[in-house]
Amino acid sequence: MKPIPRTNKFQMKNVANENGVNAEAKCTVPPFLTDGLLNKRMYCSSLYCNNTMLPCFIPNMCSEQYFEENIHGLQLGNSGFLVAEHDELTVDSIGYFVVVQKRDFTQTYISFLQHVEQDPFVTKPFFVTKDKNQWYSNKYYWYYNFTHFLKIVEQTYNSCFAHLFGPSTDPYVYFTTDGSICTMYVKQDVSDQVYMYQSESLYPLLPFNSSYFNFANCQHINDTEITTGFLNSTYDVFQCKFTDAICPFSEFLVECSDDMPLQFQQLTTSQTGEQIVLFNKMFLSFELTTNNLYPFFTYGASSPVPYVDFTVDNIPKNRNFAIKCYARQKSEDVLIPITLKKNERFNINFTVEDYN
């Protein structure tokens, strides 16, 4: 029978006194972590970290290839007279588009979505970003409210309809949400005259009842029989439920400084350079979902316990133990440092089991 270990506990914490402080903490190694380490193991017993400065959404990066492939894809279909809007790469180009096509196939209008920054105090890039690490780490492209993105989609659809049918007193398209369900209203007098499409990249974010029709590179939003009186017009009603696809992060990771001889996790990633160095220093990881991410992440030890082993038996008594927290971005696997606003906090408690 395995002996019952003696236990010791210690805490590390940081309360931000100013905006933009990293979620990190440092302490001198406690006396019970200086010798006999090969017969000890440590685990995180609890963790709390505010993360209101993390975005709830980061749009896809765009490229010249994205424009060329998708315009070419429409030209291969039954598109009639095709007009493209925002088809030149700028710092505000993002990787999504919508299409509105007249049902007689005489006119098709494609419009690529344009980013609108949510934080006016963030500096706009001078040049188009082509490096994915730089893109997903740049706060200029961070959204703190998904409704902001919905309004961009709404405006883009309205631009398409205005091009095909002229200006309208009431909006052609209007989005609302309660946070879990998205509702898109489309004026019935024009809805019956067009096919509406969204790019494949938009579908995971707005999974309306859709199918492939006419074009292979975007999805047709299927017709609805639900209508409602809204504003001064009759609107067709389309609804979908949001999914975890909106959340840009998959894991909460904790990095350790080189001073502590911990057994680091072997995390699989396609990253290189500075990013791979960060991955190599991670010793704790916690899965994230939209339900446990905002406005704080919290963890209490549960099975399986996230044990951390040591790689040497003794360390100097004055050794520092420094840790820092990151959010792991999903699609491109970028590690983004978590920062704290004034009075926000990061607390982590460790338990050390001694089998000597």
More confident residue, 253 or 356: 253
DSSP per-residue letters across 168-201: -SS-SEEEEE-SSEEEEEEEHHHHTTEEEEEETT
pTM: 0.90
Q: Tell me what pLDDT residue 157 has.
A: 98
The domains of the chain are located at: 6-54+247-354, 64-245
Residues 93-142 pLDDT 10s: 999 999 999 999 999 999 999 999 988 889 999 999 988 889 999 999 99
Confidence (pLDDT) at 210 = 96
**Tokens linked to 314:** 């003794």
Return left, alpha or beta for 214; rule: phi > 0 is left, psi -120 to 50 is alpha, else beta: left
Q: Is 333 left (phi over 0), alpha (psi -120 to 50) or beta?
A: left
The CATH class of the 6-54+247-354 domain is: mainly beta
